[in-house]
């Protein structure tokens, strides 16, 4: 894992922060050059599909499919998305799954590192969760008007234990939205994390959270490499 983590990280401190309430935020997490190359990969080489919640189910659309729709079809989808979001359901964001079959060598390497025994052991050590044996991964891109409403990430069939998010957009302004927001059961807010460049959010899948709406004046996309550590 040479040149993956920032060499100045204090893992004991990260561990004791996580122990408080099952979540931790780590600034300057990756080696700076590695973080810059990760941003470059997402910004220049990844083609994102749009993942959305429409008509009560998850839908994925490629750029091509989206542009081939009639204006009225696009409006209908948008209306449906907004009606659901108004009730606290759904999401819309750019997504590309990263797997062992990834063609981009840099992103494939990132995926392999995150799935290496060495890294899974580091995560187990930080969190005290010992049976982690895989990480899923997706590149995400939120642009103005996109969001992810409140949810939990605990998908039993995938054995998910922990969510992770490496934020990779340089110079994010907190007023642009796209905050990772944690909630109590009753909808009261707990904590809100700005997606600052090169920070990691790591949290137990039991936590209720959302990605807040990206404002119309967000100057850049919100990029992340994100996924779940789990057991299968």
Ligand X SMILES: O=C(O)CCC(=O)C(=O)O
**Binding-site ranges for ligand X (CB under 6 A):** 140, 148, 153, 165, 180, 201, 209, 211, 224, 226
Contact characters 151-190, Fe ion, x per CB under 5 A: --x-------------------------------------
Residue nearer to Fe ion on the CB measure, 34 or 229: 229
Instruction: Tell me how far, at minimum, the Cβ of 105 lies from ligand X, in Å.
Output: 24
Residue of this chain nearest to ligand X (CB atom): 180
Residue nearer to ligand X on the CB measure, 76 or 85: 85
Instruction: Tell me how far, at minimum, the Cβ of 70 lies from ligand X, in Å.
Output: 30
Q: Which does 226 bind (CB under 5 to 8 A by kind): ligand X, Fe ion, none?
A: ligand X
Instruction: Tell me how far, at minimum, the Cβ of 140 lies from ligand X, in Å.
Output: 6
Tokens in use for 168?
């990779």
Relative to beta strand 222-230, strand 160-167 is antiparallel
Q: How many residues does the chain have?
A: 232
Instruction: Tell me how far, at minimum, the Cβ of 209 lies from Fe ion, in Å.
Output: 6
Q: 26, exposed or middle or buried, with CB in 10 Å at 0-12, 13-18, 19+?
A: buried
Nearest Cα to Cα of residue 210 among 228, 230, 196, 190: 190
| 95-154 residues near Fe ion, rule: CB under 5 A | 153
Instruction: Tell me how far, at minimum, the Cβ of 194 lies from ligand X, in Å.
Output: 10
Nearest-10 Cα torsion for 205, 208, 214, 220: -30
Instruction: Please say whether the beta carbons of 168 and 110 come within 8 A.
Output: no
What does each C-alpha distance from 228 to 50, 93, 137 come to in angstroms?
20, 17, 7
The answer to the question of residue 204 lying near Fe ion (CB under 5 A) is no
N-term to C-term CA, the chain: 23
Binding site for Fe ion (CB under 5 A): 153
């Amino acid at each position: 894992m040479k040149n993956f983590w920032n060499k100045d990280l204090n893992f004991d401190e990260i561990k004791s922060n996580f122990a408080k309430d099952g979540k931790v935020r780590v600034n300057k997490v990756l080696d700076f050059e590695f973080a810059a190359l990760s941003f470059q990969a997402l910004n220049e080489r990844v083609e994102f599909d749009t993942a959305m919640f429409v008509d009560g189910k998850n839908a994925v659309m490629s750029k091509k499919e989206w542009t081939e729709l009639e204006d009225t079809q696009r409006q209908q989808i948008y209306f449906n998305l907004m009606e659901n979001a108004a009730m606290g359901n759904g999401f819309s964001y750019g997504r590309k799954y990263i797997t062992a079959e990834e063609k981009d060598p840099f992103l494939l390497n990132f995926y392999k590192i995150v799935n290496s025994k060495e890294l899974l052991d580091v995560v187990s050590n930080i969190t005290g969760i010992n049976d982690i044996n895989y990480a899923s991964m997706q590149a995400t891109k939120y642009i103005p008007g996109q969001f992810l409403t409140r949810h939990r990430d605990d998908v039993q069939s995938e054995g998910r234990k922990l969510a992770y998010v490496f934020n990779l957009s340089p110079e994010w302004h907190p007023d642009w939205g796209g905050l990772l927001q944690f909630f109590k059961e009753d909808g009261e807010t707990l904590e809100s994390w700005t997606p600052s460049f090169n920070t990691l959010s790591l949290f137990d899948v039991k936590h209720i959270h959302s990605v807040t709406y990206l404002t119309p004046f967000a100057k850049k996309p919100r990029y992340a490499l994100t996924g779940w550590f789990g057991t299968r």
